[in-house]
Structure 1
């Protein structure tokens, strides 16, 4: 009897894992279509690169300083919008925090831009990130960000420290 219960449990777990994987792949496909339509409608002359993770980024301006690593502390100014243009996040000055504390999309995307030289105006790097929902807040959302939201950020990388 225990063998049958164990076998049944393994089958149920296996089937539920497949279902979740299918939903994630389906959402990734939906997000990618939304991102491509957004770029086509709003950024015809801007080149975006698609990272293997599904994140799209465009380096607007290289900084004059160091590139961050996964363990870096970064200083940034940023604006976050939904693809419909609605603003959900904007810094009122710079924020400083460990890169590892941000959403996965930032952790991946901000490795593609270098910082400015601290104290020297106009030297910050700037990048645009279009982050699929799986690399943002996923199927749960967060605060004023609904579930399965694709997010668009413009980030100025002011400084990097380790």
Structure 2
């Protein structure tokens, strides 16, 4: 009986500490930190980028001459892309891969419709529009700002 009470008490204490860590995350504060990181990065690298109302920064590298921007969450996009951290570490690449736009991180859902088919865009995605305070796996730490270069091949 005493052992059961001790274990129950231990689980309650561990649970309380675990929930404190999650509760301490403040998306608004993190967005401000990310904004400073991105603004500093683009200034240091002389990048001309536009800040979207969402907090995403983007640079149109190659505007497409023609194309439509009729995107929805069910739109399948085919892209070639590379994802990097701001320190230049590449964490992912894809060539001629297709995804439903609605299944992608918010930064891509916002950024891809900003370029037309055949165009190339660079997205600086704050962590709050990517994976937040969790790590999706090796190569991307929690609260990471992501830098993507994306060629939009098609959208249907």
TM class by shorter chain equals 0.7 to 0.9
1:50 and 2:51 correspond: yes
What is the TM-score with the length of structure 2 in the denominator? 0.79
Q: Deviations over 1:63-120 (max 9, x none)?
A: 23222412311110000000000000111x21011111110000001110011xxxxx
> Shift in Å at residue 20 of structure 1?
5.2
Unaligned stretches of 5+ residues in structure 2: 1-18
SS, match of residue 94 in structure 1: strand
Unaligned stretches of 5+ residues in structure 1: 1-15, 116-123
Check conservation: 1:68, 1:74, Cα contact below 8 A. no
Within 2, Cα distance between the matches of 1:29 and 1:143?
Answer: 24
Superposed, which structure 2 residues align to 1:1-162 within 5 Å? 23-42=26-45, 44=46, 46-63=47-64, 64-71=66-73, 72-91=75-94, 93-115=95-117, 124-144=118-138, 145-161=140-156
Within 1, Cα distance between the matches of 2:112 and 2:27?
Answer: 24
Alpha-carbon spacing, 1:24–1:155, altered in 2? closer, same or farther (3 Å): same
What is the TM-score with the length of structure 1 in the denominator? 0.77
Within 1, Cα distance between the matches of 2:77 and 2:92?
Answer: 17
> Shift in Å at residue 134 of structure 1?
0.5
SS, match of residue 60 in structure 1: strand
RMSD (CA atoms) = 1.8
Check conservation: 2:25, 2:133, Cα contact below 8 A. no
Aligned residues: 133
